[in-house]
Amino acid sequence: DYRAIQTARIQAADKLLKDSQEKQPRLAATQSKLEALRSVMGLGDRQAEKDLNGYGRAVAKDPDPEIAHTGRLMLFDMSLDALANGEMKETQTLLAELKKLIADKPDAPGVFVVTRKAAIVLQQVGHREAALDAYQAIGNAYKDSQEPQLATEARAMLAKASDADLAHH
C-alpha cells in the first residue's frame, strides 16, 4: 500500500532526525521526509499538504544551510503547484525566490530543474513577462555551466527570452 510505505518513510525519517545530529543522515532523512509527505499530498491528502508546508518552513530555518536549502526548494516547488492550479495569482514573490535560489546555491541539486519548471509554469498560466524574466535569470546563471547539457539548455532559454522579447516590441 503506497500510503503505508510513505508513512513508514516519514516515521523512519523522524526517528533518524531524533537520533542523529550528523549532517549527512539529517540531510538524507529531511529529504526523505519531504518527498514522502509530497507523495502523500499527491494522493489528495489535505493534512499532508499542511504538514509538508509546516515541515518545509521549519526545515527552511535549519541552521545547516544545505538542509535549509532543501526546505526552501520544496516550498518553492509547492508554490509552483499552487500557481499551476490557479490557487496563486501573484508572481513577484515567486520570481524573487527563484532568483534567490539561483543566487544562493546555483549548483545545488534540484535548483536548475525546479527553476526551469517555474519558468515553464509561469508561461503556461499566461504570466508572460514573469516567464521571460525567469528564463533570463536562469539562462544567465547557467549559460557558462561546466555541464554541457545545462549550458546548452540555459542558452536556449536566453534565445527564447530574446526572441519573445523582440516579438513583443
pTM: predicted TM-score of the whole model, two decimal places? 0.88
In terms of Cα–Cα distance, which of 73, 157, 155 is closest to 122?
157
Tens-binned pLDDT, residue by residue, of the chain (169 aa): 899 999 999 999 999 999 999 999 999 999 999 999 999 998 988 899 899 999 999 999 999 999 999 999 999 999 999 999 898 888 999 999 999 999 998 888 799 999 999 999 999 999 999 999 999 999 999 999 999 999 999 999 999 888 876 666 5
Residue 160: the pLDDT is: 87
